[in-house]
């Protein structure tokens, strides 16, 4: 069954890697603010007024929107290791190029259904079987 999701942009691995300098900065901020928010919510920092929690949540949301403006999506809701997916067309089907904040470049992808658990390494060079396209 063909599942089609409409994404704003489809990336080739090269295009996605070219955005990493910006994506890394945004993800670093998301992780810092997200960890602070998680600590506040779990009571690890003591009695903190609700406005501080709301402010941090809005800041995290704003940073995630910045990623979406680029065309990619933040996926690590525990704020442990930033995880970002970049939509791609691989061999005529939608897929996601997958990057973790502890990786130097984008080297993995997975189907829309498989998610992170189904990550596969990108081939060294796209072959006729595995076509990367920007739609």
Condensed to tens digits (0 to 9), the pLDDT of residues 86-131 reads 999 887 888 999 999 999 999 999 999 888 889 999 866 554 344 5
d(CA 38, CA 61): 14
d(CA 44, CA 27): 23
Q: What residue has token string 């990493």?
A: 20
From 113, 89, 87, 108, select the one nearest 98 (Cα to Cα): 108
pLDDT computed for residue 132 by the predictor: 56
| Residues β-bridged to residue 99 | 84
pLDDT in tens, 19-39: 999 999 999 999 999 999 888
| Bridge-based pairing state of the strands 73-74 and 83-90 | antiparallel
């Amino acid at each position: 069954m063909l599942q089609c999701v409409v994404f704003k942009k489809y990336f080739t691995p090269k295009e996605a890697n070219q955005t990493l300098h910006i994506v890394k900065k945004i993800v670093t901020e998301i992780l810092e603010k997200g960890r602070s928010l998680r600590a506040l919510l779990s009571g690890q920092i003591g009695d903190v007024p609700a406005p501080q929690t709301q402010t941090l949540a809005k800041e995290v949301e704003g940073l995630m929107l910045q990623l979406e403006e680029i065309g990619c999506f933040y996926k690590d809701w525990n704020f442990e290791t930033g995880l970002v997916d970049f939509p791609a067309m691989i061999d005529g089907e939608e897929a996601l190029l997958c990057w973790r904040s502890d990786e130097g470049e984008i080297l993995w992808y997975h189907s829309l259904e498989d998610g992170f658990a189904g990550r596969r390494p990108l081939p060294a060079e796209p072959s006729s079987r595995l076509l990367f396209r920007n739609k």
